[in-house]
Amino acid sequence: MSATSAPLAPAPRPLAAAPARPAWRSSGALGLGIATLWLSIIVLLPLSAVVARSLDGGLGEFWDAVSSRQALAALRFTVLVSLATAAINVVGGTLIAWVLVRDQFPGKRIVNALIDLPFALPTIVAGLTLLTLYGPRSPFGIDIAFTQGAVLLALLFVTLPFVIRSVQPVLIELDHEMEEAALSLGARNLTIFRRIVLPNLVPAILSGAALAFARAVGEFGSIVLISGNVPFDTQVSSVYVFKLIESDAPVSAAAVSTVLLLVSLAVLIGIRGLGHWGARHDR
Amino acid sequence: MISVTGVTKRFGDYVALDDVSLEVPDGSLTALLGPSGSGKSTLLRIIGGLESPDVGRVVIHGEDQTSVAPQRRGIGFVFQHYAAFKHMTVRDNVAFGLTVRKRPKAEVAAKVDELLEIVGLAGYQKRYPSQLSGGQRQRMALARALAVEPKVLLLDEPFGALDAKVRADLREWLRKLHDEVHVTTLLVTHDQEEAMSIADQIAVMDHSRIEQVGTPRELYDAPETPFVMRFLGPVTQLGEGLVRPHDIALSLDARPGSFEAQVARVVHLGFEVRTELVLGDGQELAVQLTRAEADELEIAVGDIVHVRSTAHPRASAVPEPEPDVLSA
Amino acid sequence: MTVDRRWRISLRVLALGYLALLLLVPVGLIFFRTFEHGVGGVWESITTPAAIHAFQLTLEVTAIAVPLNTLFGIVMAIALARGDWRGKGIVNAVIDLPFAISPVVIGLSLILVYGVNGWLGGALADAGVQVIFSVPGIVLATIFVSLPFVVREVTPVLREIGDEQEQAAATLGAGGWTTFRRITLPAIRWGVAYGVVLSVARCIGEFGAVSVVSGKISGETETLTLLVEKRFANFDLAGAYAASALLALIALGTLLAMTMIKPRREEGDA
């Protein structure tokens, strides 16, 4: 029996727009619609209000608000301390991730679980504990409350997991054979780390650092107690915005917030870009 | 009977199926055989309703099913990677189609037990798929598909993920199952040995088209294109024609239609002797002789001998056809 | 690379030392300071009417926000992982925003929409609904900050599992809803569970946004985290520690749940 050519003319059908998912089509579209509506109402609507209201007094007032001495000082301090946080996390986070993946010691699993503590602990509690430990009633005698160092400390606490959790899976997946090949070619440990391991970790480290930076820029609860919020000294932008809200200056608050929003957006886009860059060698 | 008429399917710019037509007789075991990318899985999925064709029709048992959802086609589908419901026991997996149809519990239980018995998994009711071997999972998948008494059974490279021994065992077992159950079965495979050993009819596919349809014997003995000939068995090129290696005769003297060749190597493989030759145009070929034949001919390296095809002329085909320009 | 023993020990000490100073010691100290003067005072401290109300309010708000975001999360995850539509990039970016924005800005944004002078606030006030400085405002803020967790956990699980099981269910006669209920949902349940745990932790721990929108009216719009701050501001250190210890305990419970669920996320384990 051989293949028969069609005796009847086949009824032509329009090109399908997308591969049919037979059972999902209509209900899927409805679900997506509702979910997007939710997303818009909860997130987009309020955020667009910030941007819109910041321009309530026109561009001039917007510029005045974001370039006032106090606003600039707060922004400068915020960005610098957040960069420092990210930088310290790059080193510390990679180190801790390394130890957690490559080393063995009793209690490692507990330590690994505790890394997520800053995610689980309310920021105000974090602030209080740090104040207790490194403030006026410190059992160590170390009192750094109301200093810029205190802000850095608080930020290091809340951003601890980011780089670690970003690097760990990459380290686990890392192809041991690459390192073994390097060994067989005569490379020493430090060289292997520098030229084989580290380059493969860089995208993960950077994206973790970017997340840490974004978190640090916006952090409020852990800083509020320990920093003393001294304007021009230890005041971060989020606290400055809070003060503006309290002094009933919503437009100025919105203006400074818009700047912070732009910083966040830039970081988010950067992270997505990093994701693509990092995956370019995956085969 | 399944009747596919003029089916074309594109994914973006890529043409997966190009004006394909096929008829699958009732109760037969038909294989869709071809290399990867030939469109066989796409054709199977269109028959099953998991994809829909851009152009063409699918008629199953006299009813036009082209735009009917898979739920309502009365088909059973077996996937290459089993698609087992990992969070359900073997029993719940097999019972799934029946519970969806709200059959009474007693009937479901009896049917499940019966099917597990048939596929050789009796007693495995309470196990989970993760506790089964690959071959067992696939047998469970078969039981699951058969539970709803499909009119047509579709298998997409069902043994592709299993190792060679399991594959060979399961394919024989599938044939026996088919002989007992007699469901129209359509099997996609890239393994010509698999298709040849169990199918009643084979449709050979390449580059989104059906090249030839026939019984295994017909396809092997009377291939209509060089592709079909090459895909279904070993070929040797002699001059302008393609010949099966076992259809080549070797003689010391020239015969009508023979080609001159020089002996390059003589390998003694126990009972057989493989003679490696080089033709005048530099092409290499190997001819298998029995010890007796080799002894009689007394061949040595460097000798000039003559080879010719002893096959029926229809088996030869013009080599290197122009690649088809697919219709836009 | 096999690191030699000396290096390995030094790295380990460095890492653990950093973690201890930054993480373990502070949290341990909270519990120490809390129970320094005995358990009795602590119990009183967390059972004052204000404290009980704060606890109830926090739980109430969480009980509203988490199920809503879970529903959203599952629907959106399916749309992202299984659907074929344009704009996924933008939607992904918007979903990530709550992670990247300062909670104070979030609070401000809600005031600007739902406050008396806000876009919708006026109309709502006329209808007798007060959002800002009232519980609905706290709910909205909490929903905002905990929005991404379930989506972010379920989407990769759906991608990882693939949709073959769902196709198989279709060939066996199951319609859309049956397939979702019996195949998809069980397959993603651990991803959902993990996302829920993270959401709950985030809801309970929210401070900045709630600080802005709640008005901190004791006994009415004061959550547990706001209670901690208020007590600290009133020099009631013991009270602040006690409430903190309670929150820390909840956090540790969260960690425990996370640790238990994490390994089960990928495969639809029985």
What CA–CA distance (Å, rounded) separates C258 from B309?
A: 73
User: C234: how many CB neighbours lie within 10 A of its CB?
Assistant: 10
- Across residues A114-122, what is the average pLDDT? 92
Contact C217, C54 (CB under 8 A): no
Which amino acid is present at A266?
A
Give the pLDDT confidence of C48-88 residue by residue, as tens digits.
888 999 999 999 999 999 999 999 999 999 999 988 888 88
How confident is the model at residue B269, as a pLDDT?
Answer: 85
Give me C184's structure tokens: 């998809």
Q: How many CB pairs under 8 A join B and C?
A: 72
CA distances from residue B77 to B5, B67, B149, B292 in whole angstroms, order as listed: 21, 17, 12, 52
How far is B316 from chain C, CA to nearest CA, in Å?
43
Residue type, A75: L
Q: How does pLDDT run across C224-270, given as a tens digit for each residue?
A: 999 999 999 898 888 899 999 999 999 999 999 998 998 887 554 43
Place of tokens 């301390």: A81
Residue A103 backbone dihedrals phi, psi, to 5 degrees:
-105, 160
Pair B32, B186: CB distance under 8 Å: yes
- Using a pLDDT cut of 90, give the percent of chain C over it: 53
| Min Cα–Cα distance to chain A from C236, Å | 12
Tell me, what's the pLDDT at A6? 36
Q: Residue B304 pairs with which residues in a beta bridge?
A: B262
Is C208 in contact with A261 (Cβ distance < 8 A)? no
If you search the block for the tokens 């796409």, which residue do you land on? B42
Q: Closest Cα to residue B205, out of B319, B41, B322?
A: B41
Q: Report the Cα B47 to chain-centroid distance in Å.
A: 17
Amino acid letter at A15? L
Domains and CATH numbers, chain A: 51-282 (1.10.3720.10)
Count of residues in chain C: 270
Paired with B289 in beta bridges are B273
Query: Which of B78, B87, B144 best tests the C interface by mutation, with the highest count of C CBs <10 A?
Result: B87
- The pLDDT, as a whole number, for residue C268 is 47
C-alpha torsion angle, residues A153, A159, A165, A166 (rounded to 10)? -110
Asked if B46 is an interface residue toward chain A (Cβ–Cβ < 8 A), one would say no
Which amino acid is it at B175?
Answer: R
Place of tokens 């993946």: A101
pLDDT at C190 exceeding the cut of 80: yes
- In C24-43, the residues whose Cβ lies within 8 Å of chain A are 24-27, 29-30, 33
DSSP label at residue B321: P
What does the block give as tokens for A217? 């820029």
Whether the CB-CB separation of A32 and C75 falls below 8 Å is answered with yes
- Residue A24 contacts C where some CB pair is shorter than 8 Å: yes
Instruction: Quote the CA–CA distance of B97 and B106 in Å, as a whole number.
Output: 15
Q: Which of B133, B112, B134 is nearest to B123 (CA)?
A: B112
Reported as a single tens digit per residue, the pLDDT across A160-204 is 999 999 999 988 888 777 777 777 777 777 777 887 788 888 989
DSSP B59: E
The answer to whether the Cβ–Cβ distance between C105 and A115 falls below 8 Å is no
pTM of the full structure: 0.81
* B126/C contact by beta carbon, under 8 A: no
The answer to whether A257 and C107 are in contact (CB under 8 A) is: no
pLDDT tens per residue, range C165-177: 999 999 999 988 8
Which residues of B, range 51-110, sit inside 8 Å of C by Cβ?
69-72, 75-77, 79, 81, 83-88, 96-97, 100-101
Q: Are the C-beta atoms of residues B64 and B121 closer than 8 Å to each other? A: no
* pLDDT tens, residue by residue, C10-52: 889 999 999 988 888 888 888 888 888 777 778 888 888 889 9
- The per-residue pLDDT for A218 is 93
B167, B80 Cβ separation under 8 angstroms: no
**Average of per-residue pLDDT values in chain A:** 83
Of the candidates A159, A228, A125, the residue with the CA atom closest to the CA atom of residue C223: A125
Count Cβ atoms within 10 A of the Cβ of residue B301 and give its class: 0-12 exposed, 13-18 middle, 19 or more buried. Answer: exposed
DSSP of C36-67 = TT-HHHHHHHHTSHHHHHHHHHHHHHHHHHHH
Are residues A20 and B51, on separate chains, in Cβ contact within 8 Å? yes
Query: Distance between CA atoms of C153 and B77, rounded to whole angstroms?
Result: 31
Q: Is there a contact between A241 and C105 if contact means CB atoms under 8 Å apart?
A: yes
**Testing the interface with C: which of A51, A81, A104, A129 to mutate, by most C Cβ within 10 A?**
A129
Sign of CA dihedral B253, B259, B264, B265: negative
| Residue of C197 and A133 predicted with greater confidence | C197
**CA A20, CA A14: separation in Å to the nearest integer?**
13
Report chain A residues touching chain B, CB-CB < 8 A.
1-6, 8-16, 19-20, 22-23
Q: Chain C 84-103, CB below 8 Å of chain A: which residues?
A: 84-85, 89, 91-103
Residue C2: the pLDDT is 63
B222 to each of A126, B229, B299, B317, C105, how far by Cα in Å?
A: 81, 8, 32, 10, 78
- What was the pLDDT predicted at C73? 95
Residue range A238-254: mean pLDDT, rounded? 92
Is A164 within 8 Å of A116 (Cβ atoms)?
A: no
Tokens coding B159: 């043994």
Distance CA A20, CA B48 (A): 13
- Please identify among residues 84-143 of chain A the ones whose CB lies closer than 8 Å to any CB of chain C: 92, 95-96, 98-100, 102-103, 105, 111, 113-126, 128-130, 132-133, 139
pLDDT at C266: 58
**Low-confidence residues of chain B: pLDDT under 50:** 314-315, 320-322, 324-328
- Rounded CA-CA distance A64/A57 in Å is 10
CA neighbor of B65 nearest in space, from B79, B46, B43: B46
What ipTM did this prediction achieve?
0.87
Distance CA C162, CA B205 (A): 27
Walk across the sheet containing B201-206 and list its strands.
B75-78, B152-156, B184-189, B29-33, B201-206, B209-214
In C, which residues are within 8 Å of A118 by CB distance? Answer: 23
Which residues 100-119 of chain C have a CB within 8 Å of chain A? 100-113, 117-119
Substitution target from C84, C167, C171 for chain B, most B beta carbons within 10 A? C171
Residue A21 above 60 pLDDT?
no
Encode chain A in three state secondary structure: CCCCCCCCCCCECCCCCCCCCCCCHHHHHHHHHHHHHHHHHHHHHHHHHHHHHHCCCHHHHHHHHHHCHHHHHHHHHHHHHHHHHHHHHHHHHHHHHHHHHHCCCCCHHHHHHHCCHHHHCCHHHHHHHHHHHHCCCCCCCCCCCCCHHHHHHHHHHHHHHHHHHHHHHHHHHCCHHHHHHHHHCCCCHHHHHHHHHHHHHHHHHHHHHHHHHHHHHHCCHHHHHHCCCCCCCCCCHHHHHHHHHHCCCHHHHHHHHHHHHHHHHHHHHHHHHHHHHHHHHCC
User: What is the predicted pLDDT for the residue at B12?
Assistant: 87
Could you tell me which of B44, B2, B41 has the C-alpha nearest to residue B23? B2
Q: How far is A141 from chain C (nearest CA, A)?
A: 14
C168 touches B77 (CB < 8 A): yes
Taking an 8 Å cut-off on Cβ atoms, the answer to whether A10 and B213 are in contact is: no
3-state secondary structure of B197: helix
Measure B300 CA to nearest chain C CA, in Å: 57
Reported as half-sphere exposure (CB side, CA atoms, 13 A), residue C145 has a value of 32
